[in-house]
Structure 1
């Protein structure tokens, strides 16, 4: 068991067992204690480990650890259970005091224990036992009484039924308790008293002790103490004040102690301890007036004052009620402390000490010796006298006798001549007055006079300043020391002699004609007139003057405010007193400094010139607000938010300058379509003036400079994409965005065809592009527009639509291999719409009604350079039966529509057939090419190969490799048609591959391909180490012929029409073949015509309208356009409408046939459903097995279909100039040629007859 204790100082840990120290048994108990540094703990961590050797169940019990240091202790206990029989350790007798709580633990061992109970000696269970799972065998007794004494037995019963008992005796003891006591109140000196400390309860023996004021009673007090068994008596005789105090009786026995205290007061009349005597003190000195008495209770001290010793009044020292005797404070024993004695303190004082009805008086006299004191008037000691009159100065002095008075003048003894002199005389109240008389006062009598009084106790002095008044002299050395824009400082020398009461300062602003004259230039006589209205006067009292010690002694100054900036002034001054005025000084001239302009520019206009410019014009501020010479203007501007709030910008570019003579400027480099606030202010050498009221103006809009941000697109189906974006940044919008253009382009479309971009006009910030091709990659770009133009396109985002079910397989063949086997072969669907996962082949016996046999085909054979083919051989069929087969391709989205069904009959006389599909075979120059030709029939057909229609013999580089023709070491000359022919006695079949090549380069570099077709598309990509690079789609220059823009190339009279074929362009691809087809007024025809001249068509009906279909073709393709013209009637007018329908073109006939076929298929489907309900035929339309039907079938979808253009979106508003669209009545461009390249590979061009069906001739009756 471990115990960890922390404390400062380090604690000591002791172990216990059942609240008793561990027995001294080293063979059982081992304690290891060490100091250890615990992470994060304080200093003084002690770890103690108790190891217990378990031999018997008696080692179990309640173990405890007690940690103790000088600051306190802490304990913890936990029980250790040891399996074994119950046992209870020895319990000594217990002692407890009454009215306390008692807890007794039963020290048992053994485990498991069923119950632990405590019983009284009569066998009853103690009701106060508290038992829980954690704490059993605990006996708790609250507020123990004497009745609780006795024996208690602890019984421990094990689960096995074994029982252990242990009895303990509990003794209850009573601590002492005494009755309260007190001393009588009216005790006096010489009397006697006693106190009894009686015991109410308590176990004997009991000891009594007495204390006085918490100390043993001194023997000198002769206090007698008598102790008995149940009380103690305290006797005091011949009481004195020393017996006063608090007496405590303390009763003690073995189980406690109790005490009680009472106060003893012996009354005693007051007696003096320290008192003052008659005292003399100098005025201003500190003084202690002692008055201290003793008595019981403590005497109260009071003070009284009297000037004559008869009439007394109370003195409240240091209190607010104190009168003229205040200024002192009373100490704790009644003594008074005077901080500074004054004549007012002189007199009789009486100190009284009072104890209840007893009191003592003591009187003494305080004599305060006073030095001379000169009386001072409230108006000061300054005297004025007019020159020639009599001046008198006097001083009155009080103080102790033998006062001597002495006068001085300017620190020299006073010496008066003539009738003047000094007179000293006694006045009432013991004072003395000394007076100086000066007749006919003159300037020489002015100055400082001192009256000095002395006696034995001190001296006093009174100073007079005598001024002899006369008319002041002209101020001297007047100059303008400092000049500001609106004030100036004037200083002058103060003249000695006549005093000045005030100064008068006059100044005036000079006219502009005079203000710029040199300072030393003579002023016109007009300036000598100082009585005009523009003269300003300032009266300067002496209190208004400035001390200008920095300019030398004896100088004074004043500030003149209220001046105008940049103005020249003339100024003069004179001195005044009550005698008169001095002459004015000569005028001084000075010019105030410039100040920042006080007015703002006026008549401000702001116009928007361009998208990022604002033109500002203004007029200067009013002339009187210039406050100097204008140096220029500051134009400041800031952006204003949409809410109309804006703050002045301190950023670079927010401030522009203009010269002083400028009244306009142009701000450039602003933001387009942004509201700006503009202010203008003038400045001079002193600073800038106030801002003009702000003017607000919007800059014009400019096309957005940034593209929409955050363009994202996600697929929302197999034919739609969800596109979202954010507007361009605020600084790149150039104005209010009105709408967006969403451009999308098919990325994985055939690169041999022109790029076909489509556009959507979007008002919001998201759109769904629908009617797209399944599982196709599209490049999405977005452009923002505002009223000023179009912004740039965003970076392209590429998204792919989801997968959809594929189209029907591109071709299907079913051939007979014998009387019990067939082979099916097919091509992948032309529109896979995703990643093909598998094919499902359906085979049905048309002779029966059972469901078709379904076969899943997961992979097809791929042969490099040729079309991927899938084959599956069905064996174990019935002889002579006709089977029908169809195939469905599947992607992750599901299975597509089935291919058209083909039928074949098992036969032992099956004609020779080829399961492989011919096509384009691609090979690389220097490489090899394998042409796989799988044949079948009964008997098996012979197979031979043809090259360009001639027999091909198997010699190098041509080799037969099983079912394939292997060509090794390909050269460009090997690009030719290769035909596989299968023959047996019952029939033959053939398949042709057109071999084309690619070029292998030794080193990278430019390659020129010659002999290409004009206006044709090619695709090339490079490969290095077998890994193909990205494809490059290119097209040779030129294109199909271009049609005339309108019918003006046709001119007609009443019976003839002239066609100017030179109006047709060759598209840059050489000669044009032109065919005309016409119809109208019951006449139709067709004709091939040359291009480059005129063609005349005759035999037309007057007054009729005709339609002409012109088809022009060249090496790059063909163009077809339909025109209308009218012949003239007999009256010269033209017919208004066509009077005969235009013959259907081959395309229209094809459309009609397709529509009829679709209706027929729908009818057959409905019929099949009805038959299915009648449980007759299957879901697939049955092919007849009579002799009129062919024995085997082949289906192949057209391999060169017209390009499927994306459908027009619902909100197309812009047509890309690079897109080509097919139109019904407009020009149609097409090309039957397709070129492919692998690395630098050119594919041969298909003939026009292999292209999708074109519109046939319309006028020769052929279809």
Structure 2
């Protein structure tokens, strides 16, 4: 079983409320599921409105239905939603991201508010936007209450229709009165919550006041940062910036703007910390502090391979430093040794991944990088990892090659694959004694698991054989050398210094030798003096019947019996023998005594009445040690114990011992046999 190859289809989402979304989908095609769907997993996360806002951690929900409702979401927030089906094997393919936004609601309170004296008769109110606007801010309302001696004398609200201009001036202040201020924001849904209430009392001695707001300040790595410090008050104002507890010294990347703001260029992580602005005059002072946090790309992950198979690599990684910003994801880079880089993009919550559908027994280069809102971090160390399996191995020649006189059969089905399935073979051959290698390509795409026959070879000839066995891990080249059998099935070892002309001469001589052998198999019957009776011998056992049976040549009518000589070619003996009869059933046509056969090899074997063909048959009976029979006779291949080992000469990988094939064949001596009627008295 494998994981689903397709994602859920027709993913749709719709807002139900400011804090919930409904998501529906259709299952992936059944043909691409590869199993039974156990359920669906939804991965959803808010999309940051600006780069200055951190993204929240991704969340996950599992269900077995084709519809679900996501609760507890942020108001008026855009969410990205991905969906996948999973089986017992694992998670399938993710769907394309779908985006959906929750509904608007009334806004939250402004994040901050200040009210200060700009001069003795003018108040300046400033505020911050709501932390959770929950919609589009259309306007603000500034609320003012005037108190005299603990008694409310005036309450009014002033609509402020410039959402980006976050301040309001109230002139005409009167001494001895007490002024209170608060601000609310509006969306299309309605008015939001109120800010805290701030107050002031008019005075002729206007102290130094800062109308900017300090607090947490988030900055991206290598960006430019501006820390405002806007102040009001009468008389000459003095201003100083502190880094930590120390006064700020002028540096190339740190400057103070004319309005008193601090400018930091190309901020580094070493720049994060506390920055304090102090403003004072003769009537008083004011202080604000910024807590600057610089977000940088993530650190370097530690990548490990935990398991491998023929087609998969299981990887695991660990990240120590997220760079001050939540990890949005990982990118796994991998490629073949001589291939192009590929990527697998993963969620920021993942710490393991299985690379699937890889090539068997193949080397891969793998590394991983992490990224956050700032960017990608440094890559991990590149791993050189290999899937299981390796190059094909080389089989033993005796297992691979089956020889005869005109062909060789290649048993490719027994070729060891090294752990990766075989793909194809390339087979080439050439005569061993060619002065210039002229390899003949038999085929460059022979399928595995079969027996391939290389035919059209010459008998008793030595050839070189080159086979390239290919699997997914590569190929292994095997070099072999073999000698075809002669026409009689003999196996011969080639002389290491034999020339091509010698090979051809030997082949011609073998042909002549084979013709001579054939003539000897059909040798005529030797005529002997007549005998008083005629003997007819009947075989007793079925194995006594041979292709070359008794030849009885009728002669002139005589009282002398004729001696019969039987030539029998036994397939198991690999040489012709003489079959005489002893203790067999004989029928005597005439009651004359049978003459005794002369023993082979004795002087009496050649009698005056013996023909030249009979002499040839006698030479055959003696084992063939004269004339063309001076060569050693080799039994048929089917009867040799190990014919391949003596005929195959592999390359440097194999060097089997040389064994004389005739040493295992027992030569049986010819024995004299008599018929009952011809036993010597």
Q: TM-score, normalised by structure 2?
A: 0.39
Please identify which structure carries the higher strand content: 1
Q: TM-score, normalised by structure 1?
A: 0.22
